[in-house]
Amino acid sequence: MPLLSYDRYCSEILAQAHLLRSHIDGADLTTPVPSCPGWNVGQLVRHLGGVHRWAEETVRSRATGPVPDGQFRDLSAYADEDPAVVGPWLVEGAERLVEALREAGPEAVVWTPVPGGNARFYARRFTHETAVHRADAALALGAEFDVDEEVAVDALDEWMEFCSLPMHFDVHPWMRELLGPGRTIHFHATDAEAAEWVVDLTGDAIVWRRAHEKAAVAVRAPLTDLLLLVYKRRPPRGEGVEIFGDEQLLDFWLERVSFA
């Protein structure tokens, strides 16, 4: 269940877009983005601005099926972007999306790629899409990245929810190979109260819960590092992260889990 109000999600989309714009101000946007192989920072920003506009059209039109998404798939034309151009363009797209979301209201019925079917899905999804792509840009450019505790916890909840949807076994059949006896993973944020998650792979479905439990492998890290690790924006091994138990299970989960 979402932690944040609909209005907070709308505000966060704008806040994260403005923060990302501040990261790219005066930067070399041809810098490669290691966490998004094949993209440079300018292409990353064009992708994000494109998905904002795609979501805006989806919500504003009350789409009953997928809206064409070609505007953010082929990024080859955006290899040499100017921050003075693409920065305002990014913020404009976020503003347009938020305007559509606020006009629609959280319960507006609209097509969504996973079960849900209302505008609240897009408010939540694009809060975290924008924050994580801001992390991509910050990591590429050597800028500091941090995110509000409530936003980070909700982003981790959303990831856990999406990655445990039964539909994945049809769309991503390789995820079924994660299941097996004794396979549990505990994620523990060391700097946030009650920010713990257990992923249970022992049954016939992927299950998650907020809990402090003994598991086959435990991962302890500050909340922002945990968010970046789970979203595959930083490696599981390195400064600030402790792993106890079956490290191979953690690696296997990170390799196979996906909601894209």
Q: pLDDT tens track of the chain, all 260 residues?
A: 778 999 999 999 999 999 999 999 999 999 999 999 999 999 999 999 999 999 999 999 999 999 988 777 889 999 999 999 999 999 999 999 999 999 999 999 999 998 889 999 999 999 999 999 999 999 999 999 999 999 999 999 999 999 999 888 888 888 999 999 999 999 999 999 989 999 999 999 999 999 999 999 999 999 999 999 999 999 999 999 999 999 999 999 999 987 65
Q: Which domains does the chain have, with CATH numbers?
A: 6-145 (1.20.120.450), 167-256 (3.30.1050.10)
Instruction: Give the pLDDT score at 171.
Output: 85
Distance separating alpha carbons of residues 55 and 37, to the nearest angstrom: 24
Phi and psi at 253, nearest 5°, equal -65, -45
* 230 vs 232: CA distance, rounded Å: 5
